[in-house]
Structure 1
Amino acid sequence: MTRWLGVALLPRADHLRAAIDIQRALGADHGLQPPLTPDGNLPHVTVFQGPFTDTLDPARDLGRIGAALSLPAEIHLGFTGIHYQPTGWVFLGLTRPSVLDKLQEETLAVLTPHLDQAAFDTSKDTSRYTEAERSSYARYGYRYTGEAYAPHITLGRTDEQAARTIVDTAPTRAEVGADWVFDRLSFYVMGENGAHARILAKRPLDAS
């Protein structure tokens, strides 16, 4: 049975609430979906997500990812702007320090053997992807790996015009902190539009 799952960085509690408030401020009139909540669809930075076979064990494999790296107690990412991403996505863009590249590389090393490649959507329209995104999608079934990795908190998805309006008016509608702090890794069930719908396993970044 195919399971659609992901690995993510979760924000510290105060920054989790800040992301929820930003989505509400920006999307109240424009239908950003799904709504972010503190106990449902969590704000997060995806490390990797996709379809997996039953050979994957979320708790075991999250432990393997964490144990392979020497991570700090907190990872700080800088805010780069509210971005539009085709098609209809609104992202809170974040910086990409080397620790994130190492985290994704180790995540891919642990999880690739469990990918259900037969479940990749080969009919998906990738015409608006960059070449690096198309290559990533063909190899892993996920748009943002390697050169194409783009750390972000997804604020939601809506129609094209509304998404562009949100991005254009964001500076006047919401205050966004310059520094975003993450302190946990999670293995999660993907929900609507790839949302972080339910935690299957989690661990502090610096768990021994």
Structure 2
Amino acid sequence: MKQIAVITGDLVGSRRLRDDVFKRVLTELDALLTAFCTDAKDQWQIFRGDSFQLTLTDARRAPLIALQIRWALKALSTTDSKVDARLAIGLAGMDEASNILNTEAHILSGTTLDELKNTRLKWVSSNEYFCSQTDLLTQFADTRITQLTPRQALALLEFSRLEQGSHQQLAEILNTSRVNATRLLNSADYNLLLDYGKLVSQWIGDTDRNDT
């Protein structure tokens, strides 16, 4: 059975953000979540002021999207307003008759987010093998993302959006030299983080095939 993914998140320390930063965060979230909904059944919402939820009918897209959400938000950080989010990503199968906004993936995602404390990225599924595969790698990825500077996060976000992955193109977007763009990416361990996203996406695809 095809899986869907539900990303439920909330902003870390939103009450400590300056008003202008918080407004920019909400504007960025609105634009991001809208752009991620590429299928007619994809859905998103912002609720309780600083929480949000994105439903993806193609779960394989969720790993890169989760990374991009974190990078986009961290890129908005200032010296006195650190921006980040906690994300819980639920995976579950869904048949054509299911209610797209009330699935096991929604329950898993929402419940897990409520339980998160220091962790800011977590995958949850009824497939225990998938969870055992991803848990340790996700802890490493989460720690590395949390450590990123706003400039590194912006570089990762923009680079992940480029079809050809050109350092020269990134340099032009960031208005810097190609050498500096490459240094930024390397200092952010971009290959490791992007490979992490690709690997989890592959595992989701493998799980889909094994369940059919």
Where relative contact order (Cα < 8 A, 6+ residues apart) is larger, the structure is 1
TM-score, with length taken from structure 1: 0.30
TM-score, with length taken from structure 2: 0.30
Kindly indicate which of the two structures has a greater share of residues assigned to helix: 2
Kindly indicate which of the two structures has a greater share of residues assigned to strand: 1
